[in-house]
Structure 1
Amino acid sequence: MKFAVIGHPIAHSLSPVMHEANFSALGRDDTYEALDIPPEQFDDIKDIIASRQLDGFNITIPHKERILPYLDDIDAQARDLGAVNTVKIVDGQWIGYNTDGIGYVQGLQTVYPDLANAYILILGAGGASKGIANVLDQVVKPKLSVANRTMKRFDNWDLEVNKLTLQQAEAHLGEFDIIINTTPAGMSNNRDVVIALNHLDERTLVSDIIYTPSKTAFLLQAEANGNEIYNGLDMFINQGAESFRTWTGQEPDTEAMKQTVIKHLEGE
C-alpha cells in the first residue's frame, strides 16, 4: 500500500520515518512520502494524489480544513470538528477522519492524571485546536478556554468554549492548570512565541503540540520559569498509530514508531 502526508512546509516532518519504521517492524511492504503542497496549488490535490496511486494520506498545517470540499465522505467526529488529518481512499472515494485529538489526549493523560478537573487554555483555533478541544470536552469537567489572535476564527466553532483574545489569555495565565499551544509558532526552529508567559503560575503544565524542535521557544520559556513542559511527540505517535489502524485495520507497533522518531530527533 502507498501513503503520504501533505502540508506546507513539510520538509521538517518525521511522518515518513515513523510510518516506515512501523511498516518494517510489521513486515509490511508499504511506502510513505511527504508531499509539499502550497496553498496556491491545492486545487490540484485530486490529480496530485491520483498520480501517486495512494491508498491514504495524512494532512497537516495548513490544509486540515481546506481538504473538506474534496472529500466524498467524512467521519462524524471529523465532520463536527470541521477538520481532517487522515484520509482513507477506498475504490476512489476519499473518506476523512481526525485522529489529532485522540492522539494528544491519550498522551496528556499520562503526564496529567487528574485531567478531568483541570482548567485548560488552548492557544489557537485552527484544525488541531478543534480536534483536541473536542476530545478534551468529553473528558474535562471545567469549561475549556480557547484563545486566538482574531475572534473571527471562532465563527465555524460549534463547540461551546470560553473564547478569548491572546491579550486576554496573557492576562489570565495564572488561572490555568494546563496551557496548550496548537499554533505553528515555534515550528522549524523559529523563535516565535504565541503569547508572553509573564503571568504564568509555576504549577501550570505547559504544552506545545509541536514535536520538532523538541523544545520550542515557548516551552523553553516555561521551563526556565520552573514549569513542567510537555511537547507533541506522543500526539504525533498516537495520531499516526490511529491513522494506520484506519487505513489497514491492523494494530501498529507504536514502540518501534516512537523509538525511531526519538533517534532522529536526537540526531542519530
Structure 2
Amino acid sequence: MDRYAVIGQPISHSKSPSIHALFAQQTGQDLGYEAIEVAPASLAAELQRLHGEGLRGSNVTLPHKQAVAKLCESVSDRAQLAGAVNTLVRTDSGWTGDNTDGEGFVTDLARLGITLTGRRVLVLGAGGATRGILAPILEARPAQLVVSNRNPWKPEELAELFKPVGVVTPRTHLALKGDRYDVVINATSAGHTGGLPLLPGRLIADGGDCYDLSYGDASVPFRQWARSQGASHIEDGLGMLVEQAASSFAIWRGVRPETAPVLKELRRLMRGHGECEAVGTHQPVRRSHVELPPQD
C-alpha cells in the first residue's frame, strides 16, 4: 500500500487524513494516509527518514511550508513564486515541491460566490499561507490588494517578490486605520491560540465578505470579529482545505476526486464530534462588541 502523510506542528487537529480516506474510497485507490507531528528543528531529518521509509508524498502545514521549500530538490513555478510548499512528491533521491493552496483558495471562493475582481482586498498575515494565495488574488485583478502584518518587513518583502504579478500594498495592522475593504482574508495563525491580531476600528465596507483560511475552533476569533464589523458573508477555510487536498491527490494519483460530497461529509463529522463549525452566512449579521487578544 502506498503511504502518504501530512506533516506539521501541531497536527492532531488535522482533517487531512479523513479527507484523503474519503478521496481514496471515492476513486477506488488503495493507499494509507497519516498525520505526523514534526518539530521545526527536526524537519530535515524527518523528511530524510520518511523518504527512506518509502513515503510517496506528503502535505505540509504550519509551520513548515517555507522551510520545506528550501529542502526540496526542485519546486514548481507557483511554489517558487510563493516561496512555500504544501505538497511533496517523492523522487528517487529526495522530494519535489508544489503549492496547491492558491488553486484550492480560488476554487472555494468560486463555489461560495465571493468575487475579487475590482474589489478592495485585505489579507491579514504575511507568512507561508499568504504567499500561497497572493498570485491568484492578483490574477483576479482586484482594485487594491493590501497585505498587513504586525511588523512592516514581511509585507514589504512580499510586495517586492510579487511585483512581476501585480501591485501589493504593504501595511502594518495599525496603519490600516481609516481604511475600508470589500474582502478581508485572515491568513494568520493567531486563531490556533484563540487570538486575533490587534486591528484598528472598522475595516469592512458595507456588504463586505470575510474569509478565514483556518477552520473549526481556530476560525472562531476571526468570525466573531467579522460579525462585530457587520460583515455580510463570513466563511471558514474548510472548503479551501478540501480543494487544495484534491489538487494534491491529483498530483499523486492522476485523478482529481469530487470535492462537494467530501466537504459535506466533513461538516457532518464535525457536527457529530461536537466541533465548532464556521458555517458561512450570506445575510447581514447583527453587530456586537468583541475584545480579542492582540496576537499575530
Whether the TM-score (by the shorter chain) exceeds 0.5 is yes
Alpha-carbon distance between aligned partners in 2 of 1:62 and 1:38, rounded to the nearest angstrom:
9
1:69–1:114: structure 2 CA closer, same or farther, 3 Å change rule?
Answer: closer
2:108 — aligned with what? Answer: 107
2:267 maps to what in 1?
262
Q: Which runs of 5+ in 1 are unaligned?
A: none
| Secondary structure class of the residue paired with 1:204 | strand
Comparing 48-57 with 129-138, greater Cα deviation is found at: 48-57
Distance verdict in 2 for CA 1:86–1:222, change over 3 Å:
same
Q: Summarize the alignment of residues 229-248 of structure 1 with structure 2, pairs less than 5 Å apart.
A: 229-248=234-253
Residue in 2 that maps onto 1:191: 194
- In the other structure, the counterpart of 1:205 is 209
Task: Quote the offset at 1:221 in angstroms.
Answer: 2.5
Task: Give the one of 162, 175, 181 matched to 1:168.
Answer: 175
8 Å Cα contact 1:149-1:165 kept in structure 2? yes
Please report the RMSD computed on the Cα atoms of aligned residues, expressed in angstroms: 1.9
Q: Give distance in 2, aligned partners of 1:10 and 1:179.
A: 26
> Distance in 1 between the 2:196 and 2:14 partners?
20
Deviations 1:202-251 (A, max 9, x none): 42211110012274211123124432201101110110000001111112
Distance 1:197 1:26, change over 3 A: farther
Shift in Å at residue 111 of structure 1? 3.0
How many angstroms apart in 2 are the aligned matches of 1:202 and 1:235? 25
Counterpart secondary structure, 1:186: helix
Whether the 8 Å CA contact 1:17–1:260 is kept in 2: the answer is no
TM-score normalised to structure 1 length: 0.91
- Asked if structure 2 preserves the Cα contact closer than 8 Å seen for 1:214 and 1:265, the reply is no
Structure 2 match to 1:82: 83
Mapped partners of 1:255, 1:51: distance in 2: 35
> In 2 relative to 1, CA 212–2 (structure 1 residues): closer, same or farther, beyond 3 Å?
same
Q: Is 1:139 equivalent to 2:140 in the alignment?
A: yes
Q: Which moved more, 1:107-116 or 1:33-42?
A: 107-116
Query: Deviation at 1:41?
Result: 1.5
- Residue aligning to 1:26: 27
The 3-state SS of whatever aligns with 2:59 is strand
Question: Higher relative CO (CA 8 A, sep ≥ 6), structure 1 or 2?
Answer: 1
Q: TM-score, normalised by structure 2?
A: 0.83
Task: Report if aligned partners of 1:194, 1:218 keep a CA contact under 8 Å in 2.
Answer: no
Letter in 2 for 1:196: L
Does the 8 Å CA contact 1:86/1:243 hold for their aligned counterparts? yes
> 1:7-53 CA distances to partner (integer Å, 9 max, x unpaired)?
11111100001101111122221011111111121231333312442
Tell me, yes or no, if structure 1 residue 180 matches structure 2 residue 181: no
Q: Give 1:109's aligned amino acid.
A: A
Change (3 A) 1:116 1:215: same
CA distance in 2, matches of 1:2, 1:45: 15
Asked whether the 8 Å contact 1:177–1:204 carries over to 2, the reply is yes
SS in 1 for 2:216: coil
Contact 1:2 1:55 in 2 (8 A): yes
Q: Distance in 1 between matches of 2:186 and 2:21?
A: 28
Structure 2, unaligned runs of 5 or more: 274-296
Q: Secondary structure of the equivalent of 1:117?
A: coil
SS of residue paired to 1:65: helix
**Percent same amino acid among aligned pairs?**
31
Count residues in correspondence: 264
- Is contact 1:89-1:95 (8 Å) kept? yes
| Alpha-carbon separation, structure 2, partners of 1:108 and 1:27 | 28
Residue-by-residue CA offset, 1:183-218 (whole Å, 9 max, x unaligned): 11112xx42012336313442211110012274211
- Cα deviation, 1:50-104, whole Å, max 9, x if unaligned, reads 2442111011111000012211111011111111100111334411100001111
Query: Corresponding residue for 1:124?
Result: 125
Distance (whole Å) between structure 2 residues aligned to residue 219 and residue 239 of structure 1: 22
AA aligned to 1:212 is G
Letter in 2 for 1:172: G
For the 8 Å contact 1:22–1:256, the answer to whether it is kept is no
Question: Which residue does 1:41 correspond to in 2?
Answer: 42
What is the match of residue 220 of structure 1? 224
